A and B are shown apart, each in its own frame.
Chain A
Amino acid sequence: EEQLLESGGGLVQPGGSLRLSCEASGFIFSSYEMNWVRQAPGKGLQWVAALDPSGHVPHYADSVKGRFTISRDNPKNTLYLQMKSLSAEDTAVYYCAKDRPRRTELWGQGTLVTVSS
Chain B
Amino acid sequence: ENVLTQSPATLSLSPGEGATLSCRASQSVTTSLAWYQQRRGQAPRLLIYDASIRATGVPARFSGSGSGTDFTLTISSLEPDDFAVYYCQQRGSWPLTFGQGTRLEIK
Q: Which residues of A contact B (CB under 8 A)?
A: 35, 37, 44-47, 50, 59-62, 95, 102-105, 107-110
Interface residues of B (CB under 8 A from A): 1, 32, 34, 36, 38, 43-46, 49-50, 55, 85, 87, 89, 91, 94-101
| Among A62, A95, A103: residue with most chain B CB under 10 A | A103
Q: Do B98 and A47 touch (CB < 8 A)?
A: yes
Residues of B contacting A: mostly: loop
Q: What would 30 A/B residue contacts be, using CB atoms closer than 8 Å?
A: A37-B44, A44-B87, A44-B98, A44-B99, A44-B100, A44-B101, A45-B38, A45-B44, A45-B89, A45-B101, A47-B95, A47-B97, A47-B98, A50-B96, A59-B96, A61-B95, A102-B32, A102-B34, A102-B50, A103-B46, A103-B49, A103-B50, A103-B55, A103-B91, A104-B36, A104-B44, A104-B89, A105-B55, A107-B43, A108-B43
5 closest A-B pairs by CB: A103-B49, A107-B43, A47-B96, A45-B98, A44-B101
**A105–B95 CB distance below 8 A:** no
Residue on A with the closest CB to B1? A62
Docked Cα-Cα span, A61 to B91, in Å, equals 13
Q: Choose among B34, B85, B95 the residue that contacts A103 (Cβ–Cβ < 8 A).
A: B34
Residues of A within 8 A of B87 (CB): 44-45
B98 touches A110 (CB 8 A): no
User: How far in angstroms is the closest Cβ of chain A from B18?
Assistant: 24
**Are B95 and A110 in contact, with the CB atoms below 8 A?**
no
Residue ID in chain A nearest B94 by CB atoms: A59
**Nearest A residue to B49 by beta-carbon distance?**
A103
